[in-house]
Amino acid sequence: MIPERIPTVPDSKEIIERSFKETKKVQDIYLPNFLNKVKSLSIQKVKMMESVARRSLGRVYDGFPKFDDLDRFERDLLFILVNGREYERSLNNLRWARAKIVELATNSIRGIKKASDLNSIGRFRSSFYGRFSSVIEDVDESLSFLRESREALKKIPQINRDMKIVIIAGFPNVGKSSLISKLTNLTPEIAVYPFTTKKINVGIMKMGNGLYEVLDVPGILNRRNHNAIERVALAALDNIGDVVLCLVDPSEECGYRLEDQVRLCQTLKESGKNVLVVENKVDLERTSSNNLKISCATGEGLDILRKKMEEYVYARQAKGNSVLQRP
């Protein structure tokens, strides 16, 4: 599962500044022996820096999902949205930095405890400060990569697997987002140009006694080499969904030939999916086919579609083969 809240990611400068700022708050304590007093103060400061940095790095490391936390659908999406190897490396770098800081602090404290004069204490402390800063600076790139990944992770939808899932798929511009806005309370962006939808929109539809999840996915072209936007849709089709509504636009107002659109539905069927072909924009073009005909513009056929969807959800199993062209 993708956590609902993914932590914000500070940069290395912020972590260093925050750590130094906190050390200033360390209280001077009364000790009769001056050397012991300086030792105690130095140890407190080192501990404070270590703890602030450890917590800052830990919040990011612990808050970002690891590959093992994700299912196949989420993992496929993550790999489409960000460089998976870089993601893993960045998280490992943070884990390394966190452990390194603990190690540096432990060594520094050990040295301070053993020190017999003020100069040695100062040397141990400033050596810790220097090495501390350079470890944090070393992970600056990883921090900024994770900051970008956070935006990508937010695009991975939270999908409740206990509900039946209906995916609205098809060529770009055929009216998929228009249809989800008719079936659910969702109001995604609808526009006259292709590839308006770039991420998966999830709406809830009430049918009979149950609730269904309806997914509006980006448009897919019937070709071998899909772009990143199409692959978002394919990741969903590959891994989830009880029914696929393959929406086509016989008016070809979408900008694509009906023949090609129908071939995509055929490909989906051949991969073993539970596909219901639906012709949209019947207000513009009515064919003589046996396919279900609807118009998101006039509302025609939507009630029949709802009934048919329910039949399909329960009639067949939707597990199919991969349609995602893996590189």
Where is 247: in which H helix or E strand?
Answer: strand 243-248
Rounded to whole angstroms, how far apart are CA atoms 3 and 10? Answer: 19
How many C-beta atoms lie closer than 10 Å to residue 260's C-beta?
Answer: 14
Q: How far is the CB of 126 from ligand GTP (least distance, A)?
A: 58
Q: How far is the CB of 292 from ligand GTP (least distance, A)?
A: 13
Instruction: Select 127 or 251, whichever has its Cβ closest to Mg ion.
Output: 251
Binding mask 200-239 for ligand GTP (x = CB under 6 A): ------------------xx--------------------
Please identify, among the stretches 10-18, 91-99, 236-244, 280-288, the one whose residues bind ligand GTP according to the rule CB under 6 A.
Answer: 280-288
Please identify, among the stretches 146-154, 158-166, 185-193, 305-313, the one whose residues bind ligand GTP according to the rule CB under 6 A.
Answer: 185-193
Q: Which of 19, 93, 178, 274 binds ligand GTP (CB under 6 A)?
A: 178
Report in angstroms the alpha-carbon separations of 60 from 13, 50, 63, 153, 325.
Answer: 15, 16, 5, 14, 33
Identity of the residue numbered 83: N
Establish if 195 lies at the interface with ligand GTP (CB under 6 A).
Answer: yes
Q: How far is the CB of 321 from ligand GTP (least distance, A)?
A: 24
Rounded to whole angstroms, how far apart are CA atoms 214 and 195? Answer: 19
Q: Which of 90, 177, 274, 280 binds Mg ion (CB under 5 A)?
A: 177
Where is 267: in which H helix or E strand?
Answer: helix 258-270
| Residue showing tokens 């659109």 | 261
Q: How far is the CB of 245 from ligand GTP (least distance, A)?
A: 11
Instruction: Select 177 or 274, whichever has its Cβ closest to Mg ion.
Output: 177
Evaluate whether 198 touches 232 at the Cβ level (below 8 Å). yes
Quote the Cα angle for 315-320-322, to 5°: 160
DSSP 168: E
Binding site for ligand GTP (CB under 6 A): 172-178, 190-192, 194-197, 218-219, 280-281, 283-284, 295-297
